[in-house]
Structure 1
């Protein structure tokens, strides 16, 4: 089993700079695969790691696929920088090539390690009744190796790779193959509040052991949240307090609350009015200073003149594109998807929804100019999200 180290350090602590220095100073015979969410960060690694010729997978091969290019680069023993989306396509051949190849994996930010599979409950019953699958400890096991029909071929492939799980006899989930993590000499995962992320629950599910450390001044240190100086960060955030805030139901501004607003024109009209009032009247912010987020399904409804083009994904992280923004609005109340919570808790793993919510919020805020030590103004209408932010600042989370 690989040695897995989680570098759990607050944004701005220098995790990426540490990784660049670590790879630059590593012995020449050490090989690296660096995985990051964005192509811009791939370019950053290629440009900044000195003394190494990092390669990026391309479509220029016989199959016209980046996965084939990734495999060819591994065969050639190259240092590689690629994205999460490509790495998630790992298959048996890739795992075979990685075994014994002497690579160290550096994972910039956690990956989506579980996703729902597009299959109906009735089809699950067809597979069970037809003796094509069986369920062993919530894992979907394929029982008909000679099956070659198209209808369930993807289910067969995922199940044979031991990547499918079922919960409550209703949903099937794909899970990233744990064998990938066993193929590396060392694995480093760089993130913040790792224990709130699905990857930490995934590691517990598969009994993958890991050490948690931090980084400071370019050096690995013991993990100590008191060294994060959260009080300095919170001083830079002017959180709006006033009648435009929601102070009642703790589920206000959640995904389900906002979706119900699509059937209640008055609800979303009020949200839009408050959002526009804060950005355009309270702050009088120019468009190039604004960034705001909400549930994608209602984003179009909430857009208004003066801020319509300033929306960004509600789960934005690991990007520097918005480093000049100071007028912020986070019109969302983050809860885990029910299938994720049910899946892990059905497997005896406790999920911390509050820690996840504040983790995503902090990552989102960090996209702004606060990363440069400059103050920001924040409209956070959910009373739950405001209380979680304050609890984090007080080291209660």
Structure 2
């Protein structure tokens, strides 16, 4: 399942948009197919076929909990990051609004968090947005000033999906813990399998994970819900998933998710230096070009993401030019790439507009090789040089 793929005619395809989605691992596809074929029953059915599916579901839940080092009762399977974030944010807000209607998040969250909060504002909730510094780190003093007795939820992502900044989740969790009415939700979609985050140690109440970000399947994910946390369900029906998310469970998808989680954790533990070395190689090369501005910070950053700008050149021009060489990178978050040209994350970090509208993101996987990076750097240099000639 290498990302460096030799296609027909000897052409090389290099995929470096792994923060948007990843190529499914063949082992995971095989797990899905076997579960869908051999355990097709409804886990809620009381006959033997349904009970076989239910046992597989229970085993998968226990394995997921073991990988996250939590209790199996704290795992709620979802369809991915967007559903998990909406379920956590809206579920807490609607359940606990009698205790307070104040929510805190940051200015650089994923659209599924920001728009969920904006939706709650339309229902009368008050949302405070914590600013970030030039590296994308939230202002801890600002958080301390904004949190109050009627705050019921703080939602902060672990790893930023555009520039890779790692937030001080444990420090934030310790602050939130001091307010008994407040719950702490973490969007861990970009962090899982790359950057460790012990849930209990960090005082996290709810945590979102999405399978297709680590070679699993789209439409799979989970929400960790700490025991004792109650919230309003957004999907009423059969009472599945502790009545938090009713609906027949996607057992094959869940099996595939847990397999992907296990493989991702194994790679994180066994391939510890590869991604930081490749990231630094990229930085060293890009820094040589005075036209390039590197937006990813040098410290407290995930090893698989590198964001940079070439002011004066539209990012889509660079993306399509690289595509001619079968190299695939991206601009901004995939969930926001077709919206306004300006990156809200880069603006929040204080970048000038000419930098914010020209951001490009390279996101690697454990399958990315040094040859991939060398080839990208070579072709990127050629493209910039050619564009400079055209633009004069």
Question: For this structure pair, what is the TM-score category when the shorter chain's length is used for normalisation?
Answer: 0.3 to 0.5
Q: RCO higher in 1 or 2 (8 Å CA, sep ≥ 6)?
A: 2
Q: What is the TM-score with the length of structure 2 in the denominator? A: 0.34
Structure (1 or 2) with the greater strand fraction? 1
